[in-house]
A and B are shown apart, each in its own frame.
Chain A
């Protein structure tokens, strides 16, 4: 049972991880992430890269929706902007991958700031509808600005190159995607230890009071949109390097809903929530396929494929019924159980 973590300085109080046990577990996680690509086959590497990209984007959405309370259904549009930026730069100029990713983030950030302007007058569900407009406008631009985006046929992206090595297999691109994702998640976690992060939370809780307290709403809401779209842009850029083909149909509205579902199921307003939610939404449909494979019926794959989709939906609903605060809260409850053992929570 954990006793006595009494911090003595403000810095210690603000620390993200304060006990040696937490740091040890983190170090083990780090080792596992480094060893992972050497232990598993191509399929699991592919899933890991996809999960990492989704974690990065879900973290961005959580900054906007979970922490600042601005519901957004435009995440896929910003990812698309980032992906097309990377695709156009890599195919046309061959600029270094990291530069392309930063450019992708900046382009998406600009898009996000523009889309965020209505957020000053419009709140809640109405803002969500306004952000859907972003999806449609982005799709129109992607499909029709043929000179830059290749129209409806899209663009194919040459692989990212690092020191002459082409990152064309899941094993190689893992080493680009994972460190970037870790960096972005750590950045988001640290954001909420700063003034800006606290301002976001204040805006979520009661934006009129935040305004009265002297937080300039315009600046911080746009900053929130901008930051979240930066994350989406970088995630979209990684997506482009990963799938190597970008078309206007790659980023439908359904993907924005996917990310919103990921953060709701994972836990809005927590970093762990974005991670767990993205892992859940990406891996559960695939794991259900394994379950169907292990069933002894013949032709289970065909007969049960609609059932799989229903089970996935039922799982989402089930998790939300039993823990409305999401998977992160379930995780915290389990941790509390171990912390307070043998006493009850």
Chain B
């Protein structure tokens, strides 16, 4: 085809500029800043948590920077939306790490954490935490540059089962979980743990993810006649269905859940089914005042409206990141994955300012601490129902 010479020249120039713009498109990074990158699910199925996490990280970064930063260096938080999809998460990771010198990263899912692990090990410059509590990641040998901000799902079940064994020795327990990696994660090891604690697992019900009609499963559950039913692998649905139908059929079980089911607003959405709903939560809730809680007071100052447990998780993650960086810089070491992880593991009897009720130590990849909360419909709040239980003591 014949284009006139001048036109060809302009086309060529345009294409060249476009290519150069794309290739050199890195933002101007300030070298002294310590960058926290984030693959955050701001849209999609996990958006309710993602927005909370985003606010939590932002707020703690603000607290640190307002106090002068770490050794005069400011924290800079660079998030990207991922819609909770693994390929978008990885793309966000690549984008942020190519435009900035990143030392700390927050990942949005277990899938992302597993996918990016080999890249993290190859790069060696980043310490990563995230919204995942998967037991698989709680393995310092396989995941040396990652950690969980809280107990893993198996440890959560461990805390619940120990509470049950204390309250009612020899009780019958049923597990209701979703047919996903998230749901199946702690079930096998928890079966063993229940037996060793003298509890009997009278029923295990696996539901397809996103199922709405659970009437057949409720009938199975009623036949199991458990004293305690633990739900895992769900956020809200179909737990209220189970509870309402179970109660109608005369079930006398106590109903319990794990981290992602336990946010106050989520539980209160259950309506009457929420009364007496229990579960394990590693952090204090936004509104708690008993005990020594200076960080919670600060959060309430910065944010007058209720903040979800996802917010607290993001907030605590950034607190731990900051502590790891402080210790690494204080020891005169370079900010890389290995040093940051070692600094993190050196955290012993650390005071989180009231976010977790006991001083914490991070010996491996998780923080196996939590306490049982029970929903009080009258006050519309989750209230503590046990002492802080620490699994590594």
CB-defined interface of A1-41 with B at 8 Å, one 1/0 digit per residue?
11000000000000000010100000000000000000111
CB-defined interface of B25-44 with A at 8 Å, one 1/0 digit per residue?
01000000000000000110
- Give every chain B residue within 8 A of A176 (Cβ-Cβ): none
Of B3, B51, B90, B115, most A-chain CB atoms within 10 Å: B115
- Give every chain A residue within 8 A of B91 (Cβ-Cβ): 43, 46-47, 50, 286
Asked if A153 is at the interface (CB within 8 A of a chain B CB), the reply is yes
Which of B3, B51, B95 is A302 in contact with, Cβ under 8 Å?
B51
The answer to whether A143 touches B54 (Cβ under 8 A) is no
Interface residues of A in 97-144 (CB under 8 A from B): 143
Place the interface of chain B in its size category.
35 or more
Which of A156, A169, A301 is B80 in contact with, Cβ under 8 Å?
A301
A40 to B122, CA, bound (A): 20
Binds A, one of B81-89, B292-300, B384-392: B81-89
- Give every chain B residue within 8 A of A306 (Cβ-Cβ): 43, 47
Which of A1, A39, A143, A335 is B2 in contact with, Cβ under 8 Å?
A1
**Given A153-B136, A245-B115, A249-B180, does the pair A43, B98 have CB atoms closer than 8 Å?**
yes
Asked if A82 is at the interface (CB within 8 A of a chain B CB), the reply is no
Asked if B170 is at the interface (CB within 8 A of a chain A CB), the reply is no
**Given A249-B181, A250-B111, A309-B43, does the pair A42, B83 have CB atoms closer than 8 Å?**
no
Which of A39, A302, A339 is B19 in contact with, Cβ under 8 Å?
A39
Interface residues of A in 148-179 (CB under 8 A from B): 151-154, 156, 159, 168-170
Nearest CB to that of B2 among chain A residues? Answer: A1
Asked if A94 is at the interface (CB within 8 A of a chain B CB), the reply is no
The answer to whether A168 touches B23 (Cβ under 8 A) is no
The answer to whether B180 touches A152 (Cβ under 8 A) is yes
Interface residues of B in 105-142 (CB under 8 A from A): 111, 114-115, 118, 122, 136
**Given A2-B1, A46-B91, A244-B118, does the pair A305, B23 have CB atoms closer than 8 Å?**
no
The answer to whether A143 touches B23 (Cβ under 8 A) is no
A154 to B94, CA, bound (A): 23
Which of A2, A41, A243 is B90 in contact with, Cβ under 8 Å?
A243
A335 to B22, CA, bound (A): 25
Asked if B370 is at the interface (CB within 8 A of a chain A CB), the reply is no
Asked if B184 is at the interface (CB within 8 A of a chain A CB), the reply is yes
The answer to whether B98 touches A42 (Cβ under 8 A) is yes
A107 to B390, CA, bound (A): 49
Nearest CB to that of A159 among chain B residues? Answer: B118
The answer to whether B181 touches A168 (Cβ under 8 A) is no
The answer to whether A289 touches B42 (Cβ under 8 A) is no
- Give every chain A residue within 8 A of B83 (Cβ-Cβ): 305, 309
Asked if A308 is at the interface (CB within 8 A of a chain B CB), the reply is yes
- Give every chain A residue within 8 A of B181 (Cβ-Cβ): 152-154, 247-249
The answer to whether A41 touches B98 (Cβ under 8 A) is yes
The answer to whether B43 touches A305 (Cβ under 8 A) is yes
- Give every chain B residue within 8 A of A143 (Cβ-Cβ): 179
Place the interface of chain A in its size category.
35 or more
Asked if B79 is at the interface (CB within 8 A of a chain A CB), the reply is yes
A168 to B121, CA, bound (A): 11
Interface residues of A in 37-76 (CB under 8 A from B): 39-44, 46-47, 50
A42 to B95, CA, bound (A): 8
Secondary structure type dominating chain B contacts? helix
CB-defined interface of B7-23 with A at 8 Å, one 1/0 digit per residue?
00000000000010011
- Give every chain B residue within 8 A of A145 (Cβ-Cβ): none
Which of A39, A244, A249, A305 is B42 in contact with, Cβ under 8 Å?
A305
Asked if A331 is at the interface (CB within 8 A of a chain B CB), the reply is no
CB-defined interface of A252-275 with B at 8 Å, one 1/0 digit per residue?
000000000000000000000000
- Give every chain B residue within 8 A of A151 (Cβ-Cβ): 184
Asked if A285 is at the interface (CB within 8 A of a chain B CB), the reply is yes
Asked if B202 is at the interface (CB within 8 A of a chain A CB), the reply is no
A1 to B1, CA, bound (A): 6
- Give every chain B residue within 8 A of A169 (Cβ-Cβ): 122
Of A47, A247, A308, A339, most B-chain CB atoms within 10 Å: A247
Interface residues of B in 64-108 (CB under 8 A from A): 79-81, 83, 86-88, 90-91, 94-95, 97-99
- Give every chain A residue within 8 A of B122 (Cβ-Cβ): 168-169
Which of B19, B26, B86 is A250 in contact with, Cβ under 8 Å?
B86
Which of B22, B80, B86, B94 is A243 in contact with, Cβ under 8 Å?
B86
- Give every chain B residue within 8 A of A335 (Cβ-Cβ): 1
The answer to whether B114 touches A245 (Cβ under 8 A) is yes
A305 to B47, CA, bound (A): 10
Interface residues of A in 227-252 (CB under 8 A from B): 243-245, 247-250
- Give every chain A residue within 8 A of B23 (Cβ-Cβ): 39-41, 44
The answer to whether A156 touches B43 (Cβ under 8 A) is no
A249 to B209, CA, bound (A): 11
The answer to whether B87 touches A50 (Cβ under 8 A) is yes
- Give every chain A residue within 8 A of B87 (Cβ-Cβ): 50, 243
- Give every chain A residue within 8 A of B95 (Cβ-Cβ): 43, 286
A56 to B136, CA, bound (A): 33
A40 to B26, CA, bound (A): 10
The answer to whether B81 touches A289 (Cβ under 8 A) is yes
- Give every chain A residue within 8 A of B22 (Cβ-Cβ): 40, 44
A243 to B117, CA, bound (A): 10
Interface residues of A in 299-345 (CB under 8 A from B): 301-302, 305-306, 308-309, 335, 338-339
Q: With both chains docked as a complex, state the minimum distance between the C-beta of A336 and any C-beta of chain B, in angstroms.
A: 10
A156 to B114, CA, bound (A): 8
- Give every chain B residue within 8 A of A338 (Cβ-Cβ): 1, 3
- Give every chain A residue within 8 A of B99 (Cβ-Cβ): 43
A41 to B1, CA, bound (A): 34
A257 to B136, CA, bound (A): 31
- Give every chain A residue within 8 A of B51 (Cβ-Cβ): 302
Nearest CB to that of A254 among chain B residues? Answer: B85
- Give every chain A residue within 8 A of B94 (Cβ-Cβ): 42-43, 46, 170
Nearest CB to that of A53 among chain B residues? Answer: B87
Q: With both chains docked as a complex, state the minimum distance between the C-beta of A67 and any C-beta of chain B, in angstroms.
A: 27
- Give every chain A residue within 8 A of B54 (Cβ-Cβ): 302
**Given A21-B1, A152-B181, A289-B80, does the pair A249, B43 have CB atoms closer than 8 Å?**
no
Beyond A244-B115, A301-B79, A309-B83, 11 additional contacts (C-beta under 8 Å) are: A40-B22, A43-B95, A46-B90, A152-B179, A156-B114, A159-B118, A301-B80, A305-B47, A305-B83, A306-B47, A335-B1
Return the 9 tightest CB-CB contacts between A and B, nearest first: A305-B42, A305-B81, A152-B181, A43-B94, A41-B98, A305-B43, A43-B95, A245-B115, A43-B98
* Interface CB pairs A-B, < 8 A, 18: A2-B1, A39-B19, A42-B94, A43-B91, A43-B98, A43-B99, A46-B94, A47-B91, A50-B87, A151-B184, A153-B136, A153-B181, A156-B118, A243-B115, A247-B114, A249-B111, A305-B47, A308-B81
